[in-house]
Structure 1
Amino acid sequence: MTDKVLTANRLTDGIAVWLDASGRWTERLQDALVARHPEAEASLETIGKRDFSDNLVVDVNVIEVEEVAGVIRPLRLRERIRAAGPTMDYAEGYAAADPAFIAA
């Protein structure tokens, strides 16, 4: 099984977020809870459905990741862009994405 994390967009501002081990949504992919077996993945899906129903997040997805040298990295380009931030200046406090993280 490929490692997976739960991602979504926060309903209040649309920012990409990931579920952490305490059940909170964080803006940092590196703080995400990594599911390493099917039961953990099922739990992530249940939490995602609950938080979507509670209007906390939208566009909830379980995504595949890999851990390289202690760094969590999404396998899909789309998710690397979401994790690293926009590819251009976006808004105050949100710098453009690191091209090395996206391109790898």
Structure 2
Amino acid sequence: MMKVLTANRLGDGIAVWLDANGRWLEQIDHALIARHDDAVAALEIAGKSAFNKNVVVDVALIDVEEIDGEIYPVRLRERIRAAGPTVRADLGKQAEFRPASAA
């Protein structure tokens, strides 16, 4: 299964995803996708390093799927984190970009 590395930025708690350049992005769209065991191991190392440097907290590898070239977390919890608050669709990430499908 494909995986991406997610965390919460320490400064403001925003959900972020690691990209191929080692940057933590607020959108999952450009997250680095690990497609094999070596890539998963590299993401784990990158996550531990960022945590140890006090850049992010709650570091986790999550399962994702690619649908029509777009990345979607498999679990509902992670889809909500990627889209933003569920109480108001006019606020958060879903107001700025396409909404992530929860089903």
User: TM-score with structure 2 length normalisation?
Assistant: 0.89
1:61 correspondence with 2:60: yes
Tell me the amino acid that sits aligned with residue 34 of structure 2: A
CA shift for structure 1 position 86: 1.1
CA RMSD of aligned residues (A): 1.8
| 2:92 aligns with one of 91, 94, 101 | 94
Q: Which residue of 2 aligns with 1:11?
A: 10
Unaligned runs of 5+ in 1: none
Identity in percent: 61
Mapping of residues 75-86 of structure 1, within 5 Å: 75-86=74-85
1:26 correspondence with 2:19: no
CA shift for structure 1 position 15: 0.3
Unaligned runs of 5+ in 2: none
CA shift for structure 1 position 37: 0.3
Give the aligned length.
Answer: 99
Moved over 4 A (4+): none
User: TM-score with structure 1 length normalisation?
Assistant: 0.88
Alpha-carbon distance between aligned partners in 2 of 1:63 and 1:85, rounded to the nearest angstrom: 17
CA shift for structure 1 position 95: 5.0
Alpha-carbon distance between aligned partners in 1 of 2:63 and 2:92, rounded to the nearest angstrom: 24
Task: Give the secondary structure class of the aligned counterpart of 1:82.
Answer: helix
